[in-house]
Amino acid sequence: MHEDLLKRHLELVIEANKTTNITRISTWDEGMLLHVQDSLIGLPELNDAPEGWYVDIGSGAGYPGIPLAIESGRKTLLADSVGKKTAILDDIITQLGLSSVETYTGRIEDLAREHPGEFAVVTARALSRVSVLMEFASPLLRRGGRLICYKARMEDDEFEHALSLQETLGMTLVSDRTLELEDRCRRIICFEKTAKPRIKLPRKTSFAQKRPL
């Protein structure tokens, strides 16, 4: 059943991509590897997180959010600032019959203002630097909640900079694992919300990326 839903999701994404650019991946084999299998790499970290509401930020075509929602059964929110993408996701969710999955159209900072500390898990795949993801996630997460970052190869200075901001953002590294997906390197880095951040979050919209800490 789960496998059928995962495949149907990819079919719908490939079909939608013919008229609206929601992913650079256009073939079935590439999609199964770089979308579906890649999304499921973070399932152990999701299952290890506290129970509760889960948000996938910068969800795009619904990866990793929809595969993780299918496999975990969690109440899930797919957040993206581009209305065309969330409209496609709404249609896909309906066609897949995923009653526990909804979308949010808007900036991550606005979501944090509307739902402060309400999420148990945040995922982000190929969205931004780890330090920026930590800043985005901290005001969204409740105490004990987890941020799961999907990264490819990453420079040491990006990781070291993220670690230097742990106390500032109230986030603590809990796991970091690297694996191969065929010939590609994948790294799953997980932080836990362990304290109140030392600065007021969220900052003004776009500051996290335009004026990074």
The CATH number assigned to the domain holding 62 equals 3.40.50.150
Confidence band for 150, pLDDT divided at 50, 70 and 90: very high
Which three-class secondary structure state does DSSP give residue 30?
A: helix
Instruction: Write down the pTM of the prediction.
Output: 0.95
Mean pLDDT of the chain: 95
Range of the domain at 72: 1-210
Q: Is the dihedral of CA 209, 36, 78, 119 positive or negative?
A: negative
Count structural domains, the chain: 1
Average pLDDT over residues 14-35: 90
**Residue 150, annotated ligand binder?**
no
Q: What is the pLDDT of residues 57-79, one digit of tens each?
A: 999 999 999 999 999 999 999 99
CB 116 within 8 A of CB 139: yes
Instruction: Look up residue 43 and give its amino acid.
Output: L
**Residue 45, annotated ligand binder?**
no
CA atoms within 13 A of residue 70's CA, in its CB half-sphere = 23
**Residue 125, annotated ligand binder?**
yes
